[in-house]
Amino acid sequence: MTQHWPDDVFEALRRAEIRQVGYVPDAGHARLIERAHADAEMRAVVLTTEEEGIALAAGAWLGGTRAVLLMQSSGVGNCINMLSLPLNCRMPLLALVTMRGEWGEFNPWQVPMGSATPAVLERMGVQVRRVERAEEAAETVAAAAALAFDSTVPVAVLLSQRLIGAKLWVR
């Protein structure tokens, strides 16, 4: 199970009846994105910016389906104002956030938002869960989906940089 945690997470999303996957392209989510595009029961939607994913998730909920937002920690700052939508309207939001600026980071520009992401989300009223180990990934995502959709609250699962693997600078 641990080697294929993205596939296990994808299956958890399927069991949670996720039908729309909004994403900004990200190597850390590459396998989930690939699987979403290949699944006839899901609609993968590439976004131009992360806050569009919050609107996509709200629209999915209003239309009777469930969505997940895939993004990187650097995009969390783009969502701050839009997070008022699920909070004020009591709509669920499930976000999977690949972390940057942590273990093995080469890019100093990623460090500030990577460090601030958990606190920013919590201050905006988002329930935050974190995955450090592959064997925790699917179970954490399943529990986060249940919390989001059963309690109509925003939930973000932070996928640590150690879990997804540090990106390398290629010259």
- The CATH number that applies at residue 151 is 3.40.50.970
Q: In 10 A of CB 88, how many CB atoms?
A: 9
Residues 76 and 114: their CA atoms lie apart, in Å, by: 9
Could you read off the pLDDT of 110-160 as tens digits, one per residue? 777 888 899 999 999 999 999 999 999 999 999 999 999 999 999 999 999
Does 21 fall in a domain? Answer: yes
Does 169 fall in a domain? Answer: no
Q: Encoding tokens for residue 23?
A: 């994403």
Does 100 fall in a domain? Answer: yes
Place of tokens 């329930």: 127
Sign of the dihedral through C-alpha 8, 125, 57, 111: negative
Does 170 fall in a domain? Answer: no
Does 44 fall in a domain? Answer: yes
Nearest to 70 by CA among 100, 55, 50: 50
What is the distance, to the nearest Å, from the Cα of residue 112 to the centroid of all Cα atoms in its chain? 19
Does 171 fall in a domain? Answer: no
How many folded domains does the chain comprise? Answer: 1
Range of the domain at 156: 5-164
Q: pTM to 2 decimals? A: 0.94
Does 82 fall in a domain? Answer: yes
Residues lower than pLDDT 70 in the chain? 1-3, 105, 168-171
